[in-house]
Amino acid sequence: MKAHTRTTFPNFSSWTKRALLLVLLSLAGLVLAACGGGAPSNPSSTQVTLREWAVELQDTTLAAGTVTFEVTNSGTLEHNFIIEGVDEGLELVFPGDTATLQVELAPGEYKVICSLAGHEEAGMVTTLVVQE
């Protein structure tokens, strides 16, 4: 009998703790959900370097979602930045300039090129992998 009265209150207390924990966990879940699926692991922006003759990606694998590319042309010729299968691109980046491009990326494998005549063939091509 004594043991019973001793356990009743602690049981209630641990139930309260469990309920509080559940509330905290679901709040944490809401915060995570508010950030959007996949997006939290993406950097706010990623660097790209264009030069003769390469397209260099700081991150070759990104999570799906909104990505801002900061594209610097460190070469001596004009270049552009095209992600095949994505509507937007940077038509012309002058030597020494940095341009930004914000795009919405769906999961998949993308060919990234400079589409100026002969540049892709000369080596300005790389692959970007976008994961779910």
When the beta carbons of 90 and 124 are compared against Cu ion, the nearer one is 124
Q: Which stretch binds Cu ion (CB under 5 A): 16-24, 31-39, 66-74, 79-87?
A: 79-87
Dig out the tokens for 126 from the structure. 């790389």
Choice from 67, 82, 113, 119 touching Cu ion (CB under 5 A): 119
Say if residue 53 is preceded by a cis peptide, omega within 30 of 0.
yes
- DSSP code string of 1-69: -HHHHHHHHHHHHHHHHHHHHHHHHHHHHHHHHHT-SSGGGS-SEEEEEEETTEEEES-SEEESEEEEE
Choice from 114, 125, 128, 130 touching Cu ion (CB under 5 A): 114
Q: Under the criterion CB under 5 A, does residue 79 sit at the interface with Cu ion? A: yes
89: phi then psi, degrees, rounded to nearest 5? -165, 175
Binding mask 93-112 for Cu ion (x = CB under 5 A): --------------------
Q: Under the criterion CB under 5 A, does residue 51 sit at the interface with Cu ion? A: no
When the beta carbons of 42 and 80 are compared against Cu ion, the nearer one is 80
Residues that bind Cu ion (CB under 5 A): 79, 114, 116, 119, 124
